[in-house]
Amino acid sequence: MADISKKWTTVTPGRSADYQSGVTNPRKSWATNTKESEANYEAGVTASIAKKSFGKGVDATGDAGWKAGATTKGVTRWGPGVAMSGDKYSKGYAPYQSELASLTLPPKGAKGDPRNYQRVQAVGDALHALKVGA
């Protein structure tokens, strides 16, 4: 296993051009194949839920595993990933920003006034309705 793992970590990083070529020129459409496998996805998720796989995976990784991955991989990928996401962020957030800008909220009350929660609820209700398409 050590030899296999070593080969994976030393050879595979040099295959970036192969990765790019596969993504650029796929043999089949990712979207078509993925959509066609929806029933398999549902069956897999259902089986995973029945086996409690999510919690088992959390237990297997633990806080130490999560932190190690986030600090060794996540930190270096964070900045470039955010920098490349401007258009998607704008497209995804625009409807919510527009909804927030269009809201007419109930009047503010004094600090601690229970009526202030009506303002919070108005925002929450509007954003939830937008998200679920109500």
pLDDT at 134 over 80: no
Whether 110 is covered by a domain: the verdict is yes
Number of domains within the chain: 1
**39-66 per-position pLDDT tens digit:** 999 999 999 999 999 999 999 999 999 9
Question: Cα-flanking dihedrals φ and ψ of residue 85, to 5°?
Answer: -100, 10
Contact (Cβ atoms closer than 8 angstroms) between residue 106 and residue 119: yes
Asked whether residue 72 is domain-assigned, the answer is no
- Structural domain span for residue 106: 90-132
Does the residue 111 lie in any domain? yes
Tell me, what amino acid is at 70? A
Whether the model clears a pTM of 0.85, i.e. scores above it, the answer is: no
* Within-domain flag for 39: no
